[in-house]
C-alpha cells in the first residue's frame, strides 16, 4: 500500500492546482447583434438569437420598440505557486514561492430595435462600452 501512496498523492496534488474548464454561455454579444439585427429581420429571428428584451414599448406612431440592455462584469484572478530554493524537491525543505494578481472589467451592450406593423425591423441602434 505504501508504494501507491506517493503516486496517488502526486496526482491529487497536480489535480488540485489545475483550473476547472470554463463554461460557455449563450449571452448577447455585439457580434450576435450585428449578425441578426438588420432592416427587414423579423421579431422571431431576433428573439431566437438575442432572447427576451429588457423593455418593450411603443412610440407615438404605435410602433413596437425593444430595448436590450446587458451589463457583464468579469473578474480574473491568477495565482501561481512554485518551488523556491531546492529545485524539484524544494517542498521537502519548505521553500515555496507564490504570486497572485487580479483584474476586473465591465462591459455594457445596449440595443434598441423598432418594428413596423408586420413585426419587421425598420430601425435599430446599438452601443457597446468596455470599462
43 assigned to some structural domain: yes
In total, how many domains does the chain have? 1
If we measure between CA atoms, which residue out of 126, 130, 116, 114 comes closest to residue 35?
A: 126
6 assigned to some structural domain: no
Q: Domain limits at 38?
A: 27-86+96-130
Per-residue pLDDT tens for 70-113? Answer: 998 888 887 776 655 555 555 555 556 667 788 888 999 999 99
| pTM exceeds 0.85 | no
For residue 102, the domain's CATH number is 3.30.1450
9 assigned to some structural domain: no
Separation CA 73–CA 107 (nearest Å) = 6
Per-residue pLDDT tens for 2-58? Answer: 666 666 766 766 666 655 555 444 578 899 999 999 999 999 999 999 999 999 999
15 assigned to some structural domain: no
Helix spans in 23-116 (H): 30-36, 43-50, 90-93
4 assigned to some structural domain: no
The answer to whether 30 touches 128, Cβ cutoff 8 Å, is yes
1 assigned to some structural domain: no
If we measure between CA atoms, which residue out of 125, 131, 129, 127 comes closest to residue 38?
A: 125
18 assigned to some structural domain: no
40 assigned to some structural domain: yes
Amino acid at each position: 500500500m505504501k508504494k501507491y501512496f506517493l503516486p496517488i498523492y502526486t496526482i491529487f496534488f497536480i489535480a488540485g492546482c489545475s483550473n476547472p474548464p470554463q463554461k460557455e454561455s449563450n449571452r448577447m454579444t455585439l457580434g450576435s447583434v450585428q449578425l441578426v439585427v438588420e432592416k427587414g429581420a423579423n421579431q422571431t429571428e431576433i428573439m431566437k438569437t438575442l432572447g427576451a428584451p429588457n423593455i418593450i414599448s411603443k412610440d407615438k406612431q404605435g410602433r413596437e420598440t425593444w430595448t436590450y440592455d446587458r451589463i457583464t462584469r468579469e473578474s480574473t484572478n491568477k495565482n501561481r505557486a512554485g518551488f523556491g530554493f531546492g529545485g524539484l524537491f524544494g517542498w521537502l525543505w519548505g521553500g515555496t514561492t507564490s504570486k497572485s494578481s487580479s483584474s476586473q472589467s465591465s462591459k455594457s451592450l445596449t440595443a434598441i430595435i423598432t418594428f413596423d406593423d408586420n413585426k419587421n425591423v425598420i430601425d435599430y441602434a446599438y452601443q457597446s462600452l468596455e470599462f
